[in-house]
Structure 1
Amino acid sequence: MLTSHQSGPQDSSVALLGSADTRVHTGVTPYTEPADAPHAGASHSATDHAATAHADVPTVGGHVLVVGRPGPRLDGLTHSLRSTGHQVSHALPGQVSQQVQQAHPDAVVALEEQHEDHYASDEDPHGGHEDHRGGYEHHYGGYEHPAYQGHQEHHEHHGHHSPQPSRMPDHRRPGLDLIREVRTVPGGRALPLVMVTAGQGPAGVADMLRGGADDCIPEASAPVELSARIEAKLRRVPVPVENLPLDPRTGLYSSAHFLDELDRELQRPEAGRRGGVIAMVGVAEMGALEARLGPRVRREVAERLAGVAERLGSFCDRLGWDDAGHLLMLMPGVDEETARRGLRRFAGTVAGTRFIVADENVRLTPAVGWLPLAECPDGTQALGRARDAVQEAIRHRDLQPVRYAPWMRGAPHRHRRRPLSSLIRPALSALSPVLALVLGVAVPFALYQQMYELGWDLGSAMYWVVVAGLVLSALLIVLECLYSLDATPRPEKPGRPYPPASAVIAAYLPNEAATIVDTVESFLRLDYPNELEIVLAYNTPHPLPVEDTLRDIAARDPRLVLLPVAGSTSKAQNINAAVTRVRGEFVGIFDADHHPAPTSFRDAWHWLSNGYDVVQGHCVIRNGDSSRVAKLVAVEFEAIYAVSHPGRTRLFGFGVFGGSNGFWRTDLLARTRMHGSMLTEDIDSTLRALNEGSRFAVDRTLISRELAPTTLKALWNQRSRWAQGWLQVSLKHLWRGLRSPVFTARQKLGMFVLLGWREVQPWLTLQILPILLYSVWRAGGFERLDWAVPVCVLAVVFTLAAGPVQALFAWRLAVPELRQRRPWFWSYLFVSTFFYSHFKNMVARQAHLKEALGDRQWRVTPRAAGKAVARR
């Protein structure tokens, strides 16, 4: 768009206001013949030159309304427009509305009044002007009119000096008044408006463009240029962005037009409206992006999100955006489950994609809030509720679409009587051990008695079922032990050069304050041949002194990145907040008490660069000397990470991520995330990633040392959370995994054992008691029972042998510093056989009851610095 330009004298022959008629009135010669031209001034008039200049101009037609005061300049402009084929009508300033209503023009060309004319109209009714009026005859706002250059030189030659005018204030500039008048006329906002300026400088032109003009052209320009500009405006009619249904820069509905579409959908009769969902998508990183890159990112982010939605197909009918950068989605005729699946797929795709925003490569965390159209009273409230759901989704950052609920609005609830269930559940939860005995012993015993009275010996049949179950469990333990001996070895060399890597330490600082500094220092000592950043993602309810220490370490070593996660209440939220900030190609996830081995990131890349997506390492207890409980857990972890995990991976063809000392490809972790609603978010993320076809490896030589609970109460709380979390994962993923075409038959068998049999076994083993009581009742007393049944004896021997076998393999495959502690393994063998196995079964049964009662409270495992086990 031309806003101002310096035209040479040779252009004035075809200037917009430079016709023959204007020479009479202005006294200024708009065209001067060359000095060497024959018969100068005799054979050609200015009009002839203008006609010659216009001879090749195409006729574009169109009705143009010229706004300006009568005079030579208006006549010249009219002549120029008509000479290029336009139909012209006139309107005086102040009469635009009347003229537009009589005959709506295709375009408006407004003639800015010359400054001296403006003053003359106010001060001199005769239109006179003198040189002493600020020199406006020769200077126009800092712009020299070429037609007056010779006149200016003449004045300077004779000692006349015209002062430079100052910029005219807005209220004294008639050009802005004309623009306002046109734009306030009904329909005037959409009319192409070209201002013919009287030599405005850049500042004046900028003011007029900001004031609503579509174009500005100096009056010294050629008529053909004005004609071309009008033609361009008619081809691309300028309409205010807020009046367009679709934003021309994003292709999306503006907020106002999207609201109109939503209201139109809500006003449809319910009989003709089947389902439907309104959704809003925010980005958790928007604040940081805007602070770093400016407000332009709002539009760009909305545009990138819309591009993903369009690529995914037709689950969304109409897309819009608002000024905050939210993507708006209208899905009429879609049921809630279909909408939820589509939104979940959309969120995963966005999270797994890197976008270019403001020339920067970024990863985004979409936060999706939605609600059914049936719950929307009107469009404005619907968008407000969707926005509340988006805020809740941003808090979790787990890519889960959040359905609006009234509590998200934070409105105060009326005082009402608490429901009876809220009073009963705590009592039942406190009595869960007794309730487990009632459900697991008393109820089956009564059932066996009643069935026997009816002629069905159910108790005897259950006896063989229990025996078979115990033998099967023991057999699985032995198979895992045998398969662990030949676990898949780590590739000797990396498949590609070592890339940048990242470590994420998830911490709840009030609980980890005593150990976090040691943990950070251990990570800064890691040996990795490329860039390694350590991101400490933590949450704390109040500032702590240890934060100052951490900031000092970060100032000393830029590899440490401190990431406080405001509003976080879980490890999952901390990891989700960190995953979009990390720069590494792969990322290691650790709890705040872990000290990984110096070469752990090197070793992990050997797996990930050779076709694997996740590798789980070996977690070793480093405070086994702290208490008897810590010793027990130290040996148990060797049985889990050195025996069970590698053996199960080889036996069934898939591994699992254990929550810490696990290494993920960053792209996979970004689109998988951790779901804070799950008590074992690590296992949940494992199953979701496996269902995508990801490959998991387990490496018992990939060591990280952590702290174990030191009291029985702390161990109970930790294992209760694990057991309840496993149950949640089983309920969510077992049936889905068995039907999934992604898994092989061998993997589905492993899925059934891991998620199904694992949950049945604690209750099955408890059936020994009601079956024994039933047998005594049926035989008439303990003394009449035959205890020497060969099959029963063999089953008991085999079952009891599984514990010593597992302890033996745990000692054989343990890390060197624990293998030297043989008394620990003998103690574990005894305690596990007669107490600890029953303890874990009791924890599992109580966890089932807590889940059924809706008690999902997260109890933090306390951390305390303990005496480390010597490494040998």
Structure 2
Amino acid sequence: MTGRAVADDRGAVLVVDDDEMIVGLVAQGLLAAGYRVTTASSGAEALERLAEAVPDVVVSDVNMPDMDGFTLVQRLREDSRLRSLPLLFLTSRAEAADVVSGMRLGADDYITKPFDLPVLVARVDAKRLRPPLPADRLQTDRRTGLASSATFMDELDRERERALRSGRSGHLALLGLNESGSIRARFGERGVDEVLRQVADVLGAVVTPLETAGRTPDGGFGLLLPETSSDDVRDLLQGLSERLAGRRLDIEGSKVSVTPLVGYVPLDAVQSAKQAVEQAGAALEHAQMHLDLRPIAYRPEMLAEAAAPRQPRPLLERLRTPFQVALTFVIGIVLPYFVYLLADRAGFDITPFAYLVVVFSLLVTGIAIWVEGLLALNPAQPPPAPEEQDGGPAYPPASAVIAAYLPNEAATVLETVEAFLRVNYPGDLQVVLAYNSPVPLPVERVLGELAQRETRFTLLKVEGSTSKAQNVNAALQIVTGEFTGVFDADHLPAADSFVRAYRWMADGYDVVQGHPVVRNGDASWVARTVAVEFEMIYAVSHPGRAKLHQFGIFGGSNGYWRTQLLRETRFRGSMLTEDIDSALRVVEAGYRIGSDPYLISRELAPTTLQALWDQRMRWAQGWFQVSLGHLFGALRNPGLTPRQRFGFFFLLGWREVYPWLSVQMFPLIAFYAHRAGGPQHLDWFVPVFVLTTIFTLSVGPWQTLFAYRQADPEIRARTAWFWLYLVVASVFYTEYKNVIARVAQVKQAMREKAWKVTPRAAGTGGAPEGGLTAQAVGPAANDPEHPADEPLVPPPLPHHTTSPSRTS
């Protein structure tokens, strides 16, 4: 039967039951409440009525002929037109299993007979006023208030079509949180909901009315950014990532830091919304590899990387570096010689200008070494240790993060952890070993047992990590200290190191770089050479340069950060010297980095020339990356003082140009000798040449003397090591480092980024080579190739006896 409409029309209800008495009773109650009623005696008949008109609510029995209620609700939920139609079961089947089955099949309510008619009408009212909707059809995500996944995907498809029609591309960005799993394990789903809500608040504050923030089908977050350029998208997403990383989320009274992961893709290059999500998801996975807060743009090779890698060609690999070395000599020596020769034949003698440039570069470099050395004689000191206040501890909680690649550093890592546990720090000290290892190792069991016994020690295995940057970034999820020391797996800190570091923090510094001292100099002449070189770097160059340029440099290890700044900055695994990159970003943002030669840790040096080559090549190419990325921005940065901008120029620009200038003596001498008829006709005793030569030759011994005076007492006691350094440096080491600097630039131009980890072994530094990158010991990364080491002798003044008219 069909009820007539009444004045108070509340809508239509379809009542389905083969019991006419029940149908009449229910219809009478609904009609009295103002509903229009249609009836059917089976599920099959109900489908016929629904084909004629769709009511607001369906009330159905379960046991009926032809088609029962369970089958009816299944058919409704399979029909896109009817899947959102509210359905209430009214049945005598009251077993719990029946209720569960009905609800799982898609019923919106389940009422058992006998029933109270007013209650039934009230429940029909509720479904009419607040009709249930399948989760995938909701316009708004119930957990976050953002666009639901269905709404977001629909809008994504429309925006993709608009981008194709208009030619003005929009972008899709996907946002994830690296800590989602650990938050779920610690706080459960309630904690996850809290995180999602707070992240949604940040997104809601960032997006404009023309942009859309929503959930994606996999439970992540998506951002639709219409008609935006790649540069604008990158800047917006970088700001969003830093904003999330800098916010401490509140979960059940606990403060939690998260690491946002962002991948994005332009919409004019995708064929569907699904493909856009797939490509942005591949970029997001790459962001998770580094955890450095940088948004990653999709590249086609990201989806292809799952394919089997090509087999290397051993012969070509062996010839690659010799070819690159030869290429640098062609570029730096052979090519200039022919340029001088051709210019001369064309009537233009450019060698006087070239000679002046070379002499000027050597003089500038030598003067810089002298100035840094003199300034280092009286290094800056932190204020006295703070006193206890109001009876409480004066020292805040501190953390140490040790980054390790265990196959190469298994022999020394246990010694390192035990040394950190012996550090004398009055406050709470947390020691975190963040490591990666492709194979299980016995030392992991020993470290695990130590972590069970020692509450201050946390063992964190970073699965899938391929770099120190990833290990440190992952450790920041669990760091609890207000300031954090970052160390390599071979560093043994001095007992008072954290106390001294906090004295700098209490004085307003944001980062302080300590003084790594080589502890295995007895292992080989290479290690002894590096030991003296490190004293030149950390005891002389860094403190002197920090005074000269008004900023210090964080060198990757034995450095201490304000934890929140480190969380906001992170290390970028895409950089070969991620430490220097992070330091320069901090300086450019206006933070203070200090250098303390008395903040000591002891580390292992390479013991062979091959190991040293591998280490320094990585450092040199990493510095070149940093120079390309930071130099020009720093020179234009209004927040830097003129002295700081000059420091950036000298640190990033001059150091990359100098290795090429330093070899110009050879083409100049060759050209003058050719033009004079042989080197025997050159005048080697021109006053300018003689004076310049004496000055530049004196720089190396004086720099060594500065290092001896400022060196750590254990190194200073080895006087013979300093004499060895003078001999080695004058014979080949200076040019050895300049060759590395030049080859590194060629490698960067050829996009070569395969590197060997610095070998480690307890006490010797001589572990097997190979494996993943796990070290970046920073400022030394610059200084071994720094133009302020020992300048080469300038070329002779271009003067000869056969052609006075053509002398300079």
TM-score range, shorter chain: 0.7 to 0.9
Q: Structure 1 stretch 575-584 or stretch 261-270: which is displaced more?
A: 261-270
Residues 1:432 and 2:324 aligned together:
yes
Contact in 2 for aligned 1:429/1:855 (Cα 8 Å)? no
Residues 1:62 and 2:4 aligned together:
no
Residues 1:772 and 2:669 aligned together:
yes
Q: Give 2:719's aligned residue.
A: 822
Q: Give 2:498's aligned residue.
A: 601
Q: Distance in 2 between matches of 1:266 and 1:426?
A: 48
Q: Give 2:518's aligned residue.
A: 621
Residues 1:450 and 2:342 aligned together:
yes
Contact in 1 for aligned 2:163/2:227 (Cα 8 Å)? no
| Cα deviation 1:620-660 (Å, max 9, x = unaligned) | 11112222222221121111111111111111111111110
Q: Name the SS of the counterpart of 1:766 in structure 2.
A: coil
Unaligned 5+ residue runs, structure 2? 1-6, 388-392, 766-808
Residues 1:276 and 2:226 aligned together:
no
Q: Give 1:43's aligned residue.
A: none
Residues 1:396 and 2:290 aligned together:
yes
**Residues 1:442 and 1:175: Cα distance change in structure 2 (over 3 Å):** closer
Q: Distance in 1 between matches of 2:24 and 2:457?
A: 74
Q: Distance in 2 between matches of 1:277 and 1:232?
A: 41
Residues 1:106 and 2:3 aligned together:
no
| Cα deviation 1:125-157 (Å, max 9, x = unaligned) | xxxxxxxxxxxxxxxxxxxxxxxxxxxxxxxxx
Cα offset, 1:754, TM superposition: 0.3
Q: Name the SS of the counterpart of 1:190 in structure 2.
A: coil
Q: Name the SS of the counterpart of 1:507 in structure 2.
A: strand
Q: Which amino acid aligns with 1:106?
A: D
| 1:332-481 correspondence to structure 2 within 5 Å | 332-356=226-250, 361-410=255-304, 427=319, 429-481=321-373
Cα offset, 1:783, TM superposition: 4.2
Q: Which amino acid aligns with 1:61?
A: R
Q: Which amino acid aligns with 1:388?
A: A
Q: Give 1:156's aligned residue.
A: none
Q: Structure 1 stretch 292-301 or stretch 713-722: which is displaced more?
A: 292-301
Residues 1:329 and 2:223 aligned together:
yes
Q: Name the SS of the counterpart of 1:472 in structure 2.
A: helix
Q: Distance in 2 between matches of 1:610 and 1:756?
A: 31
| 1:741-780 correspondence to structure 2 within 5 Å | 741-780=638-677
Residues 1:96 and 2:49 aligned together:
no
Contact in 2 for aligned 1:315/1:342 (Cα 8 Å)? no
Q: Distance in 2 between matches of 1:562 and 1:416?
A: 35
Cα offset, 1:289, TM superposition: 3.6
**Residues 1:217 and 1:255: Cα distance change in structure 2 (over 3 Å):** same
Pairs aligned (count): 753
Q: Which amino acid aligns with 1:62?
A: G
Q: Distance in 1 between matches of 2:80 and 2:343?
A: 88
| 1:182-581 correspondence to structure 2 within 5 Å | 187-194=81-88, 209-215=103-109, 229-268=123-162, 270-294=164-188, 303-314=197-208, 317-356=211-250, 361-410=255-304, 427=319, 429-494=321-386, 497-581=394-478
**Residues 1:793 and 1:589: Cα distance change in structure 2 (over 3 Å):** same
Q: Name the SS of the counterpart of 1:590 in structure 2.
A: strand
Q: Give 1:701's aligned residue.
A: 598
Contact in 2 for aligned 1:356/1:362 (Cα 8 Å)? yes
Contact in 2 for aligned 1:619/1:637 (Cα 8 Å)? yes
Contact in 2 for aligned 1:67/1:90 (Cα 8 Å)? yes
Q: Structure 1 stretch 518-527 or stretch 382-391: which is displaced more?
A: 382-391
Contact in 2 for aligned 1:96/1:185 (Cα 8 Å)? no
Cα offset, 1:72, TM superposition: 5.3
Cα offset, 1:222, TM superposition: 7.6
Q: Distance in 2 between matches of 1:453 and 1:183?
A: 89
**Residues 1:189 and 1:783: Cα distance change in structure 2 (over 3 Å):** closer
**Residues 1:408 and 1:315: Cα distance change in structure 2 (over 3 Å):** farther
Q: Distance in 2 between matches of 1:364 and 1:728?
A: 28
Q: Structure 1 stretch 387-396 or stretch 408-417: which is displaced more?
A: 408-417
Cα offset, 1:293, TM superposition: 4.4
Q: Distance in 1 between matches of 2:163 and 2:422?
A: 67
Q: Distance in 2 between matches of 1:409 and 1:183?
A: 36
Cα offset, 1:244, TM superposition: 2.1
Q: Distance in 1 between matches of 2:309 and 2:429?
A: 54
Q: Distance in 1 between matches of 2:272 and 2:764?
A: 63
Cα offset, 1:547, TM superposition: 1.9
Q: Distance in 2 between matches of 1:390 and 1:316?
A: 24
Cα offset, 1:549, TM superposition: 2.0
Q: Distance in 1 between matches of 2:91 and 2:589?
A: 65
Cα offset, 1:180, TM superposition: 5.2
Q: Name the SS of the counterpart of 1:513 in structure 2.
A: helix
**Residues 1:183 and 1:547: Cα distance change in structure 2 (over 3 Å):** closer
**Residues 1:623 and 1:299: Cα distance change in structure 2 (over 3 Å):** same
**Residues 1:782 and 1:411: Cα distance change in structure 2 (over 3 Å):** closer
Q: Which amino acid aligns with 2:418?
A: E
**Residues 1:592 and 1:220: Cα distance change in structure 2 (over 3 Å):** same
Instruction: Tell me the TM-score normalized by structure 2.
Output: 0.84
Q: Structure 1 stretch 444-453 or stretch 459-468: which is displaced more?
A: 444-453
1:645 to 514, 538, 542: 542
**Residues 1:290 and 1:179: Cα distance change in structure 2 (over 3 Å):** same
Q: Give 1:4's aligned residue.
A: none
| 1:723-742 correspondence to structure 2 within 5 Å | 723-742=620-639
Q: Which amino acid aligns with 1:471?
A: L
Q: Distance in 1 between matches of 2:615 and 2:311?
A: 34
Q: Name the SS of the counterpart of 2:571 in structure 1.
A: coil
Q: Which amino acid aligns with 1:724?
A: Q
Q: Give 2:791's aligned residue.
A: none
Contact in 1 for aligned 2:163/2:170 (Cα 8 Å)? no
Q: Give 2:533's aligned residue.
A: 636
Q: Distance in 2 between matches of 1:810 and 1:482?
A: 11
Q: Distance in 2 between matches of 1:860 and 1:509?
A: 11
Q: Name the SS of the counterpart of 2:411 in structure 1.
A: coil
Q: Structure 1 stretch 813-822 or stretch 425-434: which is displaced more?
A: 425-434
Q: Distance in 2 between matches of 1:202 and 1:497?
A: 62
Cα offset, 1:734, TM superposition: 0.7
Q: Name the SS of the counterpart of 1:581 in structure 2.
A: coil
Q: Structure 1 stretch 758-767 or stretch 407-416: which is displaced more?
A: 407-416
RMSD of aligned residue pairs (Cα, Å):
3.5
Q: Distance in 2 between matches of 1:570 and 1:639?
A: 28
Contact in 2 for aligned 1:351/1:365 (Cα 8 Å)? yes
Q: Give 1:846's aligned residue.
A: 743
Contact in 2 for aligned 1:108/1:194 (Cα 8 Å)? yes
Contact in 2 for aligned 1:302/1:326 (Cα 8 Å)? no
| 1:123-162 correspondence to structure 2 within 5 Å | none
| Cα deviation 1:591-637 (Å, max 9, x = unaligned) | 11100111212222222233222111111111122222222211211
Contact in 2 for aligned 1:276/1:336 (Cα 8 Å)? no
Larger Rg: 1
| Cα deviation 1:675-707 (Å, max 9, x = unaligned) | 222211111111222232222111122111101
Q: Distance in 2 between matches of 1:423 and 1:266?
A: 48
Cα offset, 1:176, TM superposition: 5.5
Unaligned 5+ residue runs, structure 1? 1-57, 123-170
Cα offset, 1:518, TM superposition: 0.9
Q: Structure 1 stretch 623-632 or stretch 373-382: which is displaced more?
A: 373-382
**Residues 1:717 and 1:179: Cα distance change in structure 2 (over 3 Å):** closer
